């Protein structure tokens, strides 16, 4: 495994945006990466994007609000709600508190925002920029791939819509922030053909639009680590052809299933390595009875090893 990938990601980036197909483990990995950033001594904020039902709260035991709440040393949580973000956005555009209040109370402004494509995303991106200014590291639990692309691509539309003025200047500033080498996208994939396809498609789309400056990283979740040797695999294949008693047949079936999972991981790793240019860190399925906090701990311990953090340094309960 390529330890340099995780080290570069966790020690040198400013903004880590975690995306991937639905249900791959985005929230779990965003929580784990933020925890590791904090454990490395970086002041870290873990963000959800305008989430009606924030999911990181179940992991860290506090419901994230707009204003970051501290959950562990060096770690806070924030839900980037639209309303709170809008206030900050308008404050930056018109630095006069009385005018800000008037703008916020104006129904027409809200109607304008509701009907102007991309305005919500721009306001939310603006809040992300502010959190980057206030922290060493910002980790974002992004929406699934397609939506993540639209959110990031909004700055291009904003630059097209506003030819000059403060909104234009602001959009340019945010664009620069995303194009810095310290801004990174993390894709969470699974060892399944469809998921790998979607991961590669989104990665290509992001790359073609030159949205993010730092190289993308891919992590393979629920990977079955290689254990069978070539000899064992051919033995299993031979045995499967033989007449066997029911118990032996069960064993062979289990072995063949394991082999299939390992092969699926290997195929996925090969495809991802070729396009991302690094060995994807593999994270096996965790036990923990499905408790999100325990799954996050297991994932963080796995990834933490690659940046020299021990289990004891990572664990928080
Ligand atoms: N390596 C793992 N082992 C076991 N369970 C896992 C693992 N990774 C994630 N999970 C579990 O799988 C479920 C989905 O993970 P998670 O919520 O992180 O995915 P997501 O990509 O954020 O989903 P969504 O698209 O719905 O936001 C959760 O219950 C999580 O605890
Ligand atoms: Mg999620």
Domain ranges in the chain are 3-224+272-314
Asked if 9 and 177 touch (Cβ cutoff 8 Å), the reply is: no
CB count within 10 Å of CB 157 equals 17
* β strands within 73-163, DSSP E: 75-80, 137-141
Question: Which numbered atom of ligand 1 lies nearest the CA of 298?
Answer: 1
Decide whether any atom of ligand 1 lies within 6 Å of the 282 Cβ: no
Question: Which numbered atom of ligand 1 lies nearest the CA of 141?
Answer: 22
Cα(161) to centroid of ligand 1, in Å? 38
Question: Which numbered atom of ligand 1 lies nearest the CA of 284?
Answer: 1
Those residues with Cβ within 8 angstroms of residue 55's Cβ, 6 or more apart along the chain or in another chain? 27, 48, 141, 292
Quickly name the fold that domain 3-224+272-314 has: Rossmann fold (3.40.50)
* β strands within 114-233, DSSP E: 137-141, 183-189, 217-221
Residue with CA closest to ligand 1 atom 16: 25
Given ligand 1 and candidates 295, 298, 300, 301, which is best to mutate, with the most ligand atoms within 8 Å of its CB? 295
pTM over 0.75: yes
Per residue of the chain (317 residues), give pLDDT as tens.
566 899 999 999 999 999 999 999 999 999 999 999 999 999 999 999 978 888 888 899 998 889 999 999 999 999 998 888 888 887 777 777 777 677 777 776 677 667 666 778 888 888 999 999 999 999 999 999 888 998 888 887 777 777 777 778 888 888 999 999 999 999 999 999 999 999 999 999 999 999 999 999 999 999 998 888 899 989 988 998 888 888 988 998 999 898 899 999 999 999 999 999 999 999 999 976 788 999 999 999 999 999 999 999 999 87
Decide whether any atom of ligand 1 lies within 6 Å of the 295 Cβ: yes
Residue with CA closest to ligand 1 atom 31: 292
Residue with CA closest to ligand 1 atom 24: 23
Decide whether any atom of ligand 1 lies within 6 Å of the 144 Cβ: yes
Decide whether any atom of ligand 1 lies within 6 Å of the 24 Cβ: yes
Residue 46, Ramachandran bin (φ over 0: left; ψ between -120 and 50: alpha; else beta)? beta
Cα(197) to centroid of ligand 2, in Å? 20
| Coil, strand or helix at 143 | coil
Decide whether any atom of ligand 1 lies within 6 Å of the 286 Cβ: yes
């Amino acid at each position: 495994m390529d330890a340099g990938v995780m080290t570069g990601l966790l020690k040198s980036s400013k903004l880590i945006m975690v995306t991937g197909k639905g249900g791959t483990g985005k929230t779990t990995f965003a929580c784990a990466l933020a925890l590791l950033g904090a454990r490395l001594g970086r002041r870290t904020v873990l963000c959800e994007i305008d989430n009606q039902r924030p999911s990181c709260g179940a992991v860290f035991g506090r419901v994230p609000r707009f204003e970051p709440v501290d959950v562990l040393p060096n770690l806070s949580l924030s839900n980037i709600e639209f309303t709170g973000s809008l206030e900050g956005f308008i404050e930056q555009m018109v630095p006069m508190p009385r005018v800000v209040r008037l703008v916020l109370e104006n129904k027409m402004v809200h109607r304008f925002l509701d009907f102007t494509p991309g305005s919500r995303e721009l306001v939310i991106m603006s809040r992300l920029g502010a959190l980057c200014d206030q922290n060493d590291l910002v980790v974002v639990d992004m929406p699934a791939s397609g939506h993540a692309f639209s959110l990031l691509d909004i700055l291009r539309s904003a630059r097209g819509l506003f030819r000059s003025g403060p909104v234009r200047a602001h959009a340019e500033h945010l664009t620069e922030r995303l194009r810095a080498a310290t801004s990174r996208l993390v894709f969470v994939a699974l060892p399944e053909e469809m998921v790998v396809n979607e991961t590669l498609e989104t990665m290509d789309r992001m790359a073609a639009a030159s949205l993010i400056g730092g190289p993308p990283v891919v992590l393979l979740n629920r990977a079955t680590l290689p254990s069978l040797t070539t000899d064992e695999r051919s033995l299993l294949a031979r045995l499967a052809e033989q007449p066997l008693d029911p118990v032996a047949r069960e064993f062979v079936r289990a072995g063949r299933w394991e082999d299939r999972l390992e092969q699926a991981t290997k195929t996925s790793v090969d495809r991802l390595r070729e396009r991302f240019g690094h060995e994807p860190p593999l994270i096996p399925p965790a036990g923990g009875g499905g408790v999100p906090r325990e799954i996050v701990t297991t994932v963080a311990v796995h990834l933490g090893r690659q940046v020299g953090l021990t289990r004891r340094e990572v664990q928080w309960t």
